[in-house]
Amino acid sequence: MMNVLRFYLFLTLNLLLSVNLIAQNDTLPEVEMQEIVIGASKTQTKYRELASSVSVLTASGLSRDNVNTINDLSSKIPNFFMPEYGSKLTAPVYIRGIGSRINSPSVGMYVDGVPYFEKSAFVFDFFDIQQIEVLRGPQGTLFGRNTMGGIINILTLSPMDFQGLKVNVSAGNYGNYSGNLGYYKKIGAKFGVSLAGNYNRADGFYTNAYDNTKVDEMQNYGLRNRLIFNDKDIKFENSFAFDRSTQGGYPYAVLDSALMFDSEINYNQKSEYDRDMLSDAFTAKYCTDNFEIQSVSSTQYMYDIQSIDQDFTADSMYFVVQKQTQKLYSEELIIRSKNTKIYSWLFGGYGFIQNLDKHVVVNSYEKNITTDKRHANSTKGYAAFHQSTLKINNFTLTAGLRFDREDDRLFYIYKTKTKTATKFVTSIKYPERSYFQILPKVSANYNLFDNNVYATVAKGYKTGGYNSTFERPEDLTFEPEYSWNYEAGVKSTFANNSIHTDIAVFYIDWLSQQIYQTVPSGRGSMLKNAGISESKGFEFTFTHKPIKQLQLTANYGFTQAKFISFEDTLKDLNYNEMYIPYVPKHTVSGQISFTHNCKFIAIDKIRINLIYRGNGDIYWNEENTDMQKFYNLLDAKISFIKKGFQFDVWGRNLLNTQYHSFYFSALENEYVQTGRPLQFGVNLSLSI
């Protein structure tokens, strides 16, 4: 892997140094939201014309709102929520109530064409980002697996769109320091090259009372490179990224649920999570006057190691070390029509191979025994899909269909160790499990007096699989889950384009939901299938620019996600009509951004940005006995701007709101993670 890094650095630096290094003062223009092209549509569909509830954040918006990782999108995007699990290993994303704490995600993520199949890859620093698109509702027709709840599509900055140098440094309390540097260059009219790097560190927010050390210190390094050749008929592009993260984690305190009292974080063995991740995508596109063919070949390699005091107490009970290696290869081939006014079409084929090897060692000190489990999981997937769009005057009808198949294999070794002997318990190569599904989607859009009214029906699907932790044979596997998503909405523009509103309502009929449960001993977790569930609600987005210097934004999402029929055979309990855990009923955000033009020599503009966020109520368990009530957060940022120079003073959680950001129960205890406290700091950025 290091040889690959050296090659990329050598190649890119030579390309950069071979051209004129005089930086250009070329900034990315502000783009009208209604005219933004949604890359995840795969058909160059504009925001307002897409028959789906979608949120878009551009580079300027990410900077203005201090969005640095995917976690910062919580509540800023309607019905989008990420509980803070305590490390990057598990980054569950919930959209409209659909999500998964363990195993494969229920919300998909793509970065420059690279699929991120594991949640442990989701959290990385947002440097060098040009646009983030969040599409709510099933996207399986075009994207297949892991997209029942929606998809997050991330596009990085292209050297064809921006040329010059970008520098950003930041410092804040709790020992937070970060910096990134990017250089973007066009060589002639056809070739572009960029190289960007990032460093981020933090001392941590939480203290372990056992030894008075920080629990969650972190360091992160990132590198990104793009090479682009763009001719009239042919385009080649390679996007490469490397990320290394070392992180303490799991700031969990024991909760007395009767008194709702949090004890101190107090455990005796250091817990941490380290990850190396390398991603690469090669895109080739051939265009004619009537159609274009596009191939995207991608690979992702990830190695991580988790060390965790599983009892989270001052006693030596259980300590777990888990190592994972993922190798992912995928290929997508698409042919689509061009320059058609009435009928357009798209055909595609997709295939992937994912090898995931997991090695878990559990030290049980009370029993003086160590369990050693190895899982070699190999998954292959194949798909063919089609989408047709018919446009007659102001009416647009789109229909799509995907044939999706996956084959899943598991090789499992289990042994135990004591001070005197090693015992092989079992070594099994399980028979291949295959899943096949047909995923349809139909949507209609009608433009009425500059208002786009749409309706969509789509099937959602997530494959079954193997549990890496199980104690009974019947818990080894879990079955697929299915959903039908019904959605209607309207995207409107008023008052000479100064007001934009998006409204969407949805209903999700959900069968065989994959539910997180602890194994019978309480030491570990697994997925089991519930019976019937449903999720219903709506989303609302409002943007208003009464004057050029002032922008008002409001986002609201309401989700009511419930079990309709679910019996827990392990606990002999019935959860019918209970709320699904980890799903806030309300996600709210409001923003006021005011820019004052100055006449000072040193400053062109002063921008004041106030952001309100709210989440809740959130139930933490199926019994609905533990919950986090609705809570409020207030952030602010003041920016002083002079052409390509910007100095910011920022604060997060200015009211120092106390809340629980995560909860779970294990080993007859209840544990919570508290939300991050008041933070403040400064940024300095330069674009030339």
Tell me the pLDDT band of 346, cut-offs 50, 70 and 90. Answer: very high
Q: Tell me whether strands 150-156 and 107-111 are parallel, antiparallel or unpaired.
A: parallel
Beta bridge partners, 649, equal: 638, 682
Q: What is the DSSP letter of 474?
A: G
Q: pLDDT confidence of 8, banded at 50, 70, 90?
A: very low
Question: What number is the average pLDDT over the span 242-262?
Answer: 82
Question: How far apart are the two ends of the chain, measured CA to CA in Å?
Answer: 33
Nearest-Å Rg of the Cα atoms of the chain is 25
C-alpha 646/C-alpha 399 separation (Å) is 46
526 touches 476 (CB < 8 A): no
DSSP β-ladder status, 234-248 and 586-597:
unpaired
Band (pLDDT 50/70/90 cuts) for residue 35 is confident
**Nearest to 260, CA basis, from 666, 658, 677:** 658
Cα separation, 228 vs 239, in Å, equals: 9
Q: Whole-number mean pLDDT of the chain?
A: 89
> Is 155 strand, coil or helix?
strand
In this prediction, residue 13 has a pLDDT band, given cuts at 50, 70 and 90, of very low
φ, ψ for residue 35 (rounded to 5)? -100, 0
460-486 residue pLDDT tens = 999 998 887 788 888 888 899 999 999
Residue 289, SS3?
A: coil
595-609 residue pLDDT tens: 999 877 788 899 999
- Would you place residue 356 in the very low, low, confident or very high pLDDT band (cuts 50, 70, 90)? very high
Predicted pLDDT of residue 24: 37
Residue 23: pLDDT band with limits 50, 70, 90: very low
Determine the average pLDDT of the residues in 562-580: 87
Find out whether the peptide bond into 233 is cis, omega within 30 degrees of 0: no
Separation of alpha carbons 676 and 372, rounded Å? 35
Q: Where are the domains of the chain?
A: 2-687
Rounded to an integer, what distance in angstroms lies between the CA atom of residue 373 and that of residue 395? 57
Contact 657, 631 (CB under 8 A): yes
pLDDT for residue 64: 87
Chain-centroid distance of CA 302 in Å reads 16
The whole-number pLDDT of residue 153 equals: 94
Q: Identify the pLDDT of residue 26.
A: 40
Decide if pLDDT at 258 tops 90. Answer: no
Mean pLDDT value of segment 366-373:
89
Q: Are 358 and 323 in contact (CB under 8 A)?
A: yes
Task: Note whether 91 and 116 are within 8 A (CB).
Answer: no
Residue with tokens 């795969």: 42
Q: Are the C-beta atoms of 305 and 325 separated by less than 8 Å?
A: no
Ramachandran class of 209: left when φ > 0, alpha when ψ lies in -120 to 50, beta otherwise = alpha
pLDDT in the model for residue 28: 46
What does the pLDDT look like over 56-115, one tens digit per residue? 999 888 888 889 999 999 889 999 999 888 888 888 899 999 988 878 889 999 999 889
Give 519's pLDDT tier (boundaries 50, 70, 90).
confident
Q: Which of 370, 355, 255 is nearest to 621 (CA)?
A: 255
- Residue 551 CA to residue 538 CA, distance in Å, equals 24
- For tokens 């986002």, name the residue: 555
Q: Quote the pLDDT of residue 424.
A: 85
> What is the rounded CA–CA span in Å between residue 382 and residue 405?
5
Enter the CATH code of domain 2-687: 2.40.170.20
Average confidence (pLDDT) over 393-397: 94
Q: Count of CB atoms within 10 A of residue 618's CB?
A: 26
Residue 34's pLDDT band (boundaries 50, 70, 90)? Answer: low
Cβ atoms of 419 and 377 closer than 8 Å: no
Q: What is the pLDDT of residue 619?
A: 94
Q: In what order do the strands lie in the sheet with 660-666?
A: 261-262, 253-256, 669-674, 660-666
Write the CA distances from 204 to 124, 152, 533, 605, integer angstroms.
Answer: 17, 28, 39, 34
Dist CA 179 CA 199 (whole Å): 5
What's the pLDDT tens digit per position in 158-194?
Answer: 999 999 999 999 999 999 999 999 999 999 889 999 9
C-alpha angle 665/667/217, rounded to 5°? 65
Query: What is the C-alpha to C-alpha distance for residues 11 and 8, in angstroms, rounded to an integer?
Result: 5
Distance between CA atoms of residues 306 and 249, nearest Å: 10
Q: How far is CA 272 from the centre of its chain?
A: 21
Q: How far apart are CA 579 and CA 620, in angstroms?
A: 9
Q: Per-residue DSSP letters for 390-445?
A: EEETTEEEEEEEEEEEEEEEEEEEEEEE-SS-EEEEEEEEEEEEEEEEEEEEEEEE
Q: Are strands 532-547 and 525-529 parallel, antiparallel or unpaired?
A: unpaired
Angstrom CA distances, 21 to 123, 164, 194, 555, stand at: 33, 9, 12, 43
Residue 363 in contact with residue 413, Cβ under 8 Å? no
